[in-house]
Amino acid sequence: MVANVEKHAVLAVEEVVVNCPHLKSYIATNDKTPITDGHIDLYRGLAQGNSDFVGRMPVQVKGRAIGKRRPTPKYPISREELDALRQHGTVLYFVVYVSDSGDRHLFYAILSPFAIDHILRVTPAQRKQPVLQLKEVPRDPKKLEGIIGVALITQKQKWASDVSDLVFEKMASLTVHSAEGIDLTAPLVITPDSGDFALEIETGDGLRLPLNGELTILPGSYVEREIDLRVECGGIAYEKPQARQLDPERHELKLSNGLTVKVRFTEQTQSISTNLKLISNLVDRVKDIDFFLNLVELHQLTFNGSKFPFELNEQAQLSELRDHRAYLGTLLELFEKLHVDPKLILLDEIDEQQHERLKFIYASLVKKRNLHATNGKPGQTLEQVGRWTLKLLVSPGTEPDTWCYVDPFDPESRHRFRVYRQQDKEREEYPGTVYESIPADELPQILNLRLDGIVDAYKVLSELSDTTSLANYQVLRLLSAADASEQRRAEFMQAAAALNEWLIEEDGPTAIHRVNRWQILSRTDGLGITEREEIRDLRRTILIERPPRVRQFEASCAILLGDLEDVDNCLRRLTREERREMEEWPIWALRPNPSANLEQAE
């Protein structure tokens, strides 16, 4: 057993300090003073004069005999001693292990106030002696001087409190003080017990404050970002994925919200692992699954046209996934048959009963099978698909006790149904389109409207006297549906514009058709100088000619022009009945001050 271990420990610290040209130590052996055993002074110059003095760092030296055991970079310390050190301020804590052979192993910890707070916070309350995580004392003089320099900066923490959000708002810079510099090629996490770091923030007015807490510094490659890359497998491609580096060998590519690929490069091999999450959107889910199945089968990716063969790191159980993909294929077939945009379908919103109904509809419409039922009657049905609906007809099948679904918006199905209206308490057939049978509140929800063919539906009836009135009414309903459904706004706006332009061809540029054209433009591209002049011309004309609904036309023109006072003036001169009627028109939604509370004329 080595005698006088404490003296050996102090001498070991003195030996490393004496080799540092900017340090001078004053450490006593057999010191009986509490808390510290002495101090180490840091100087700027080699002369170590008063003008070069930087600061004085208190030190505590602990010697431990270890016999023939190997030294460990851990050291138990009592809570009482930590509390005392916290009150004193930063202390450079040396632990020197002395073996039977006289070898001395030096370790240290910078016990700053923030570091002590952190140690006490993360140590379970029942443990009487927290454990210090030590670092080996460097033999390089510059590195040891750097440690002393950082320790001196942490002395400010003794009087510091947590930095408020207000100080962060005024922060002009953040400084990381490090004993050895910072490696920015990999992520760096700085915590209060990191030891060789100190954080300071500086406000715009020059106030410098020590910063407590945890700071994570990520190199740019480790931060998720969009990259200009085309990733392809089996003819399915993703453009500009989100990418980030995970470690020196692995990179992560987030191809979509449901599919992530981790690529690993080493000198010996190239491999990938994948994470497939079944997301709600039908189209995106199908694409993700198909890409994943291609990966499993082909073991090859293409990056910007360059092939990348790889090993796949997981053995996927694919039977259930393939079955699910097959079912999704039937949904795509069905929605294609119904002219439904599959991008609108959110699978998580479709319950089990709705899925079962969709299987029947698929069997009838796509596979042309009769559905057996011993009861029921022909008529229309609204089938739920999550938040949306399909408007279908149920018609007798080709065999007894069988039925089939009919898509009423399919031009080939027009002979399969009749449209009726109530007239003088009696129901009478009239030659309208299927669109007249849809209540206004249902229109935004129905998926299978085939709006790209709505003009043709009215062209068939163009020889009838009231067709233009029906079509004009439908333009207004389409505009209201566009306002009510942000997801399908473009679909409804395009249909309204096409139908209104057909009306202008058929009926001429009447005032109502021109107003509808302008309110369509107002909702899409906006009104230009030419359109605004045309609106003013129409307004002057109707005020001279005084056609029916003159005040409503005038108010409509004012709304389109957007002059708040003018709109308020026009609306105040409407009768209550005119006001109530106009509130049902889609142009009402374009008012520049929709919250105004106006009095109507009698």
Q: Do residues 116 and 77 make contact, with C-beta atoms less than 8 angstroms apart?
A: no
As a whole number of angstroms, the distance between CA 393 and CA 14 comes to 96
Residues 6+ apart with CB under 8 A from 8: 2, 63, 96, 98, 102, 104
pLDDT at 601: 44
pLDDT at 423: 65
DSSP string, 352-374: HHHHHHHHHHHHHHTS---EE-S
CB atoms within 10 A of CB 503: 25
As a whole number of angstroms, the distance between CA 225 and CA 247 comes to 16
42 φ, ψ to 5°? -115, 135
User: Do β-strands 270-276 and 215-217 pair in parallel, antiparallel, or remain unpaired?
Assistant: unpaired
DSSP string, 275-309: EE---SBHHHHHHHHHHHHHHHHH-EEEETTEEEE
Task: Give how far Cα 190 sits from Cα of 185, 194, 196, Å.
Answer: 15, 6, 9
Residues 6+ apart with CB under 8 A from 570: 551, 554, 555, 558
Task: Give how far Cα 338 sits from Cα of 345, 362, 455, 457, Å.
Answer: 13, 10, 18, 16
DSSP state of 467: H
As a whole number of angstroms, the distance between CA 481 and CA 488 comes to 9
**pTM > 0.85: yes or no:** no
Residue type, 64: R
CB atoms within 10 A of CB 347: 17
Task: Give how far Cα 478 sits from Cα of 392, 437, 586, Å.
Answer: 20, 14, 9
DSSP state of 600: P
Bin 562: left if φ > 0, else alpha if -120 < ψ < 50, else beta: left
pLDDT at 45: 85
Output the CA torsion sign for 527, 528, 531, 536.
positive
Residues 6+ apart with CB under 8 A from 394: 376, 378, 379, 380, 381, 403, 404, 405, 406
3-state secondary structure of 338: coil
3-state secondary structure of 77: coil
Q: Mean pLDDT of successive 10-residue segments in the chain (602 residues)? A: 81 93 88 80 88 93 90 92 90 93 92 91 90 93 92 85 66 82 78 78 82 82 93 96 92 96 83 93 98 92 91 74 97 98 97 97 96 84 97 91 93 72 67 88 96 94 88 96 96 98 95 97 95 96 92 96 93 94 95 65 44
Q: Which two tokens stand for residue 374?
A: 């011993």
Element (H, E) at 94: strand 91-99
Q: Which of 199, 222, 202, 196 is nearest to 211 (CA)?
A: 199
Residue type, 277: K
As a whole number of angstroms, the distance between CA 493 and CA 481 comes to 9
pLDDT at 2: 63
As a whole number of angstroms, the distance between CA 230 and CA 269 comes to 22
Q: Which of 500, 509, 505, 448 is nearest to 478 (CA)?
A: 500
DSSP state of 118: H
